[in-house]
Structure 1
Amino acid sequence: MNIVGELMEVILYVQDMSAQVSFYRDRLGLRVRSPQSGADFSQEFWVEMETGACILALHAGGQRRFGEDAPKIVFRVVDIQAARKTLLERGVQLGEVRSAAPGVWVCDGADPEGNKFSIESHEQGHG
């Protein structure tokens, strides 16, 4: 029996809530789950982004070094080359696509505050 279940959320501490919501919503294409009201997120302390698998919770403030020593968020994509092309067109800073393991392709990026993320695709039949 597992002690813990599925990953339900990732909390990312941010300094500029409006800029970070704009990045994850407008550039990466995530949907704002809550709050439902308004387009001004500058006064929000907690904003939830829907990823499909779990919630990405943007949390204002915090006592950590922004963009350093933070967990990396990894988003699954079907076609990594097409996803990279679209994100580059939206102004997202991304590295080159690389093979992380047989059948696993990864492309690293960072949000406006330097928080690391990757997009990743797996070839058909790879775990």
Structure 2
Amino acid sequence: MNARLSTIILYVKNVQLLKDFYEKNFNLKVIEEDPVWALLDAGGLYIGLHTIGDQYLEKLEADYTFDNNTKLVFEIDIDIESARNELISKNVTMRDIKTFENYPFWLCDGTDPEGNVFQLKSKK
């Protein structure tokens, strides 16, 4: 069997909030949407945003943020410091810029409004 990753689905509290976040901050194009679902074109694969089932949603407090082990990595076409500063100016929580020895990229993690971690990746 050959396989190709086509879509990553995040289960979220507020599809509209996260759709707007990724559309406005990363220029992702919305392919499909309805009240409980949005599909975004992330250039080579899709990001699906699906509302968490009611049986789970009812148990979450209003200010709950997710703690998961998934990170969305976006390779960007501008310098990473400018991108980081732009997101900070929009009140997006961003960490420090980092890199590793013999690694050709700068990296910077941030979090979306529901606590999902994303990373900016820019060539040195």
State if a TM-score over 0.5 links the two structures.
yes
Match of residue 34 from structure 1: 32
Corresponding residue of 1:120:
121
Could you tell me which of 33, 37, 43 is aligned with 1:52?
Answer: 43
Tell me the CA shift for residue 26 of structure 1.
Answer: 2.0
Alpha carbons 1:11, 1:57 under 8 Å: kept:
yes
User: What fraction of aligned residue pairs are identical, expressed as a percent?
Assistant: 30
Aligned amino acid, residue 77 of structure 1: I
- Structure 1: how far apart are the matches of 2:84 and 2:19? 20
Give me the whole-angstrom Cα distance separating, in 2, the residues matched to 1:72 and 1:100: 18
Q: Deviations over 1:57-97 (max 9, x none)?
A: 00111559962123111101122122212222222211111
Give the strand-richer structure, 1 or 2: 2
- The DSSP-based 3-state class of the residue aligned with 1:94 is strand
Could you list the structure 1 runs, at least 4 aligned residues long, displaced by more than 6 angstroms after superposition.
none
Distance change (3 Å), C-alpha of 1:29 and 1:90: farther
- Alpha-carbon shift at residue 108 of structure 1 (Å): 0.5
* Distance (whole Å) between structure 2 residues aligned to residue 98 and residue 45 of structure 1: 36
Which runs of 5 or more structure 1 residues have no equivalent in the other structure?
Answer: 36-40
Q: Counterparts in 2 of 1:1-127, with a 5 A limit?
A: 3-5=2-4, 7-35=5-33, 44-62=35-53, 67-78=66-77, 79-101=79-101, 102-123=103-124
Point out the structure with the larger helix share: 2
* Alpha carbons 1:14, 1:61 under 8 Å: kept: yes
